[in-house]
Amino acid sequence: MWYSIKSIQTPQTLDEAFLQQQQEGSALFSGGSYLVAEKNPSIRTLIDINGLVDNFVNADDKAVTIQAGATLQSFMDTVKPINPNCRLFDGARASCPSKNIRNQRTFGGEVGQNRPNSDALVFLHAVDADLTIYTGSERTISIREWDGNGIVTQIAYYPNKIESIELQRFSVLQSAPAIVIVGGIRRSGQLEFAIGGTAHKIQTFNVMMNNWNKNSISEIAKNAVRQFIPDHFGSLAYKESLIATAVKRLGDAL
């Protein structure tokens, strides 16, 4: 399983972990499910940060605070009594149907991996979550602005600032990676969309509600598909049509 791993480091502080992370061929791990699945031969050193990040979730109607070591399953268990219809639940179950794997897949890993086809990451971009990042000291930054540098220690978003939220995904099979994922929210008189899938990156688009129309949908789809990749899942024209369909459905629902 770890055929390319030469060493496992267990730093005692975030400072140590941050310095070790800068070394070529190094990777942070807490849950480790992505490292197991990918078996990346370029990774030679694992940096075990289990003892440096917390693993709990706090949630109420004002704020949801997710420590980097918290898993998809612990998020679902904590948030469900407060918000049983949280739109991330279906996406988490679809993309990761095994409860055992959901118990290993951490939010820090979801953010750190920066996979455009991550349902959790698209959701966090849609709600414009705050990230607490360690780069020698801690700072808080919007997930939409993070450049990928540093260690994620906490994620937070604020349900009371969101009037409504929806998530739409398209995949070949329910449990298969998503071809297109669109998360959308309504707040402060505007619609905000986060769009991911088989793409280079997750993109966000904002439209004032009084400007929302068919042209808005086609413009978003046309601009978003520029970051998508034609592959065995379909052409760019096909993916553009999926994006447009998802954006329309979310716009209508929001």
Cα separation of 22 and 164, whole Å?
40
Beta strands (DSSP E) in 33-72 are 45-48, 57-59, 64-67
Res. 34: pLDDT tops 80 = no
Domain 57-160 shares a fold with domain 162-253: no
Cα separation of 20 and 134, whole Å?
13
pTM: 0.90
Q: Which CATH architecture has domain 162-253?
A: 2-Layer Sandwich (3.30)
What contacts 44, CB < 8 A, 6 or more positions away?
A: 4, 5, 6, 7, 25, 26
CATH (one of 1.10.1420.10, 3.30.465.10, 1.10.443.10, 3.40.50.720) for 57-160: 3.30.465.10
What contacts 145, CB < 8 A, 6 or more positions away?
A: none
Which pLDDT belongs to residue 101?
Answer: 85
Which stretches within the chain are classed as H helix? 14-21, 33-38, 72-79, 88-95, 99-102, 107-113, 119-126, 214-224, 236-253
Res. 231: pLDDT tops 90 = yes
Cα separation of 73 and 101, whole Å?
9
The values of phi and psi at residue 10, to 5°, are -125, 85
Which pLDDT belongs to residue 30?
Answer: 66
| 39-56: pLDDT as tens digits | 556 777 888 888 889 999
Domain residue extents for the chain: 7-48, 57-160, 162-253
Cα separation of 115 and 107, whole Å?
12
Which pLDDT belongs to residue 41?
Answer: 62
Which pLDDT belongs to residue 49?
Answer: 85
Q: What percent of the chain has pLDDT over 70?
A: 93
Residue 89 tokens, joined? 């639940």
| 85-99: pLDDT as tens digits | 999 998 888 888 889
Cα separation of 213 and 215, whole Å?
5
